[in-house]
Structure 1
Amino acid sequence: MTFSLVGRCARTGQFGAAAATSSLAVGARVHAVAPGIGAVLTQHRTDPRLGPRGIGLLRSGCTAQQTVAALVASTPDHKWRQLAAIDAAGRTAHFHGANVKPESGAAHRADVVAIGNILSSAAVPDAMADAFAAAPGLPLAERLLRGLEAGEAAGGEHGDVRSASLLVFGAHDFALVDLRADGHAAPIPALRALWDEYAPLVEAYVVRVLDPDNARVL
């Protein structure tokens, strides 16, 4: 009961992911992102080990398709897994195991792949990918969050959503954005409120890391 997307900003080289689900702490389990490398999603009967494993494959030079294929081959329980990946060139791939429960689906657009399982509508992945693709000039975090919001507006999943997350990496080995809403009655609107508050501060937090002498008080 999860819907999510991973994407790349061709302008900035940023990579990121956004996800929502009916259980707690989706941001701790479903996505893995690495600067300049790409991103991986692992969901349904989630195996969080597959995210870092996928990042390792992307880092070794595997394409998104090769990465997903290798992840499938590496786990005997692939019938329960739903996977997706985006590589450094923006190529995307996904996998649905034979036991992934309907409604499930995936949608690919330039620099994005959206997937979901136990959805209320087959239109959810397309809505997510279309919303992301519609605003290429906006910050990656905003585009990912708009994708998540569009997925919810298209019906989301069967049952109540309880957690949502937003993760973006830029050129550095620390997250630009890592926001989560857990155990919330409306986690996607809560995530929107967090992002709207955090967005003006992103660059200031980067300055704190790279140039603390000139960091401003927040």
Structure 2
Amino acid sequence: MTFSLVARCPDTGMFGIAISSSSPAVAARCAYARAGVGAVASQNVTDPTLGPLTLDLMQGGLTAPEAIAEIAKRGRFIEYRQVLAVDRNGRAAIHSGPNSLGIWTQAQGENVASGGNLLANEGVPQAIVDGYLASGGHIGDRLIAAMRAGLAAGGEAGPIHSAGMMVVDKVSWPVADLRCDWTEDCPIEAIATAWQVYKPQLDAYIQRALDPRAAPSYGVPGDE
């Protein structure tokens, strides 16, 4: 019921994840990223504990392939799970259990991995990877381009209703965490619209958190 990608920007070291599903609020259960460590998607009959655990393993020194191999040993009902990871050096790894739903497949390249289940066809994850690698600019732009490429390749077998995008960079919190938890329209386009609004303000929100004295004007009544 889901297709996603995890990615690293080799120029900035930022990590990001984008995900979409026919289920509600998919990003709330499936999207995980940690600055300086990596990004993880835990999906398909989701076990939300696997995302933080994979990040902990990578933070402790394991590569993405090593962390995913450890998850395959430790995870409960791992035959039902899909877990995707990318680490600080751009190495990617994927576990797709044999009981993943419907048409399921995966693809990966340097700095990126994609996987999905209940897909319209087996080519969707490769289209997502290709879309990410072919695009440029901010990692947020690239995540949107990749998800649009996956949707254009067929996406999920049925309509999608939720989506999310998370980006981390240097600080301990996500610098972008955008979600569309339910819509009858296209949730990926809803996220894309939100990103276009949020992107120009991203640095200002970080500065306000770090030192509001040096932050740009808030632009609210009474602000000078």
What is the match of residue 169 of structure 1? 168
Structure 1 residue ranges, 4+ long, deviating more than 3 angstroms after superposition: none
Deviation digits for residues 17-56 of structure 1, max 9, x if unmatched?
A: 0000011111111121000000111111100010001111
Gaps of 5+ in 1: none
Alignment of 1:19-168 (within 5 A): 19-136=19-136, 138-168=137-167
The superposition leaves residues 162-206 of structure 1 with CA deviations (integer Å, 9 ceiling, x where unpaired) of 100000000111111100011111211111110111111111111
Task: State the match for 2:222 in structure 1.
Answer: none
Per-residue CA deviation, residues 145-164 of structure 1 (Å, 9 max, x unaligned), is 11111111111101111100
Please give the per-residue CA displacement for 1:54-73, whole angstroms capped at 9, x wherever unaligned: 11100010111111111111
Contact 2:135 2:145 in 1 (8 A): no
Distance in structure 2 (CA, Å) of the matches to 1:54 and 1:32: 9
For the residue of structure 1 that corresponds to 2:53, the secondary structure is helix
Measure, in 2, the Cα distance between the counterparts of 1:52 and 1:60: 12
TM-score (norm 2): 0.94
| Aligned-residue offset at 1:122 | 1.1
Q: Distance in 1 between matches of 2:152 and 2:76?
A: 35
The aligned counterpart of 2:214 is 214
Cα shift readout 1:59-116 (whole Å, capped 9, x = no counterpart): 0101111111111111230110011111110000111111112311111122100111
May I ask how many residue pairs the two structures share in their alignment? Answer: 217
| Structure 2 spans left out of the alignment, 5+ residues | 220-224
- 3-state SS, counterpart of residue 19 of structure 1: strand
What is the identity, as a one-letter code, of the residue corresponding to 2:213?
D
Alignment partner, residue 17 of structure 2:
17
* Whole-angstrom CA distance in 2 between matches of 1:199 and 1:105: 31
Structure-1-length-normalised TM-score = 0.97
d(CA) in 2 for partners of 1:210 and 1:76?
Answer: 40
**Which has the greater radius of gyration?**
2
Which amino acid in 2 is paired with 1:162? H
Letter paired with 2:18: A
Over the aligned positions, Cα root-mean-square deviation in angstroms equals: 1.0
| Aligned partner of residue 114 in structure 2, secondary structure | strand
Distance 2:149 2:108 in 1: 15
Specify the alignment match of 2:183 in structure 1.
184
Q: 1:115-155 deviations in whole A, cap 9, x for unaligned?
A: 1111001111011111110124x101111111111111111
SS of the residue 2:176 aligns to: strand
